[in-house]
Structure 1
C-alpha cells in the first residue's frame, strides 16, 4: 500500500476508532427521562479525601449525548486528581469553599457561587485550596467515553 492509498483509508479508520468505544458505552447506559433526581450514596473517590454523590448518569434522547451529574466534597489538603482530558465538557458549580481549577496549565480560583468550564479535550484538574471543605456540582455533557 502506498501513501495515497493509505491517505484514502485514513478518514475511515479514524471514524471507526472514534465511534466504536462510544457505541459500547452508549449501549450500556439507559436514556434519561425528565424528572427529579435525588443524590445516591456517598462513595469515596479514587483520590483520598474526596467523596462524591451521583445524581444522574445516562443518555439524552436528543442524539448521542451522555449526561452525568454528581456532587463532590474535598477535604482540606486533598490532593488533586490526575490531570485528565475527556471527550465530554465539564461544568463545575461551587457550592461551598474555595477550589482552584487548572485548565491547560492555567489556574483560576473559584468560590461559592462561581462556575468553571472545561471544554472537551482540555487538560484539567480541580483542587481544594481553602481552609474549609469544598463542595461542588459537576455536570458532564458530551459523547459517551
Structure 2
C-alpha cells in the first residue's frame, strides 16, 4: 500500500477504530487537512530504533487524537516494552520484515502489509528480518 492508497482509506480507519472519550484535549493542535512531511530522525527509547514524526493533534470530530510517525528498526533491535493503550494502532510496512505480537500471538508482516492492534490489546513490534525494517505507525483514539 502506498501513501496515496493509505490516504484514501485513512478516514474509514479513523471512523472504525476511534473510541469516544469524555472531554477534548485542548493542549494539542487541531489536525487540518493537508500534506505532512516527516521531521528529522530521532533516536527511540529502544536501541537500534529511530522515528520521524509526521503529525500529532486532535481531530475536529470529538476527542480523537491522531498521530503519525515512521520508524526504522535495525537488525537485532530489541522489541519495545509490551504495551496497551487507549488508542488503536495501525502499522504499514514499507520495507523489511516485522513481527507484530498482539495478546501473545506473533504474526509476520512484509512490505505492503498492514497490521492493526485495537485499543486495550497487549502488543509490541520487532524487526524479524535480516535487513532494516521501516514502517509507518498511525495511532487513533482518545489522548493518553
Alpha-carbon distance in 2 for matches of 1:103, 1:120: 11
Return the structure number with greater helix share: 1
TM-score by length of 2: 0.84
Query: Number of residue pairs matched?
Result: 124
Note if 1:95 corresponds to 2:128: no
Q: Please give the secondary structure, in 1, of the residue aligned with 2:26.
A: helix
- Identify the residue that residue 74 of structure 1 maps to in structure 2: 73
Alpha-carbon distance in 2 for matches of 1:31, 1:77: 37
Note if 1:129 corresponds to 2:104: no
TM-score by length of 1: 0.83
Listed as ranges, the gaps of 5+ residues in structure 1 are 1-17
- Identify the residue that residue 111 of structure 1 maps to in structure 2: 110
1:60-81 Cα distance to aligned partner (Å, 9 max, x none): 0011100000000000000000
Q: Greater CA radius of gyration, 1 or 2?
A: 1
Alpha-carbon distance in 2 for matches of 1:28, 1:39: 22
CA RMSD in angstroms comes to: 1.1
Once the two structures are TM-superposed, the CA of residue 27 in structure 1 deviates from its matched residue by 2.0
- What is the 5 A alignment of 1:5-24? 19=22
Moved >6 Å (runs of 4+): none
1:29-72 Cα distance to aligned partner (Å, 9 max, x none): 01011011000111000000000000000000011100000000
- Identify the residue that residue 28 of structure 2 maps to in structure 1: 29
- Identify the residue that residue 55 of structure 1 maps to in structure 2: 54
1:92-113 Cα distance to aligned partner (Å, 9 max, x none): 0000000100000000000000
